[in-house]
Amino acid sequence: MIKEKYTTKKVEVIEKDYVFGKENYTLMIAGVAVIFIGFVLMSGQEDIFDFRKITLAPIVVLAGFVIEVFAIMRKPKD
């Protein structure tokens, strides 16, 4: 009778390093949501020169882009 030799293989656990942390991704999603809200404010068939379309919506969109830049530049906490 032949004895079989069993060996155990070592499995290496490879951790995935993401470019950004969880908080950064949350801020990015919030920024995209704010940009989307700004574009929704720009839409509609009401008066073209309305305060909402000319002033408020562009400010909201720019605020969304500022949030995006902040989310990208922020260093994740270790």
Tens digits of per-residue pLDDT, 12-42?
Answer: 888 777 788 899 999 999 999 999 999 999 9
pLDDT band at residue 69 under the 50/70/90 scheme: very high
Query: What pLDDT, on a 0 to 100 scale, did the predictor assign at position 38?
Result: 96
Cα–Cα–Cα angle for 58, 60, 65, rounded to 5 degrees: 95
* 51 close to 11: Cβ distance less than 8 angstroms: no
Question: Does residue 46 lie in a domain region?
Answer: yes
Rounded to a whole number of angstroms, the distance between the first and last alpha carbons of the chain is 57
Question: Does residue 38 lie in a domain region?
Answer: yes
Provide, rounded to the nearest whole percent, the portion of the chain with pLDDT above 90: 54
pLDDT, tens digit (0-9, with 9 covering 90-100), for 36-62:
999 999 998 778 888 999 999 999 999
pTM of the model: 0.74
Question: Does residue 62 lie in a domain region?
Answer: yes
Question: Does residue 6 lie in a domain region?
Answer: no
Domain with 28 in it: 22-73
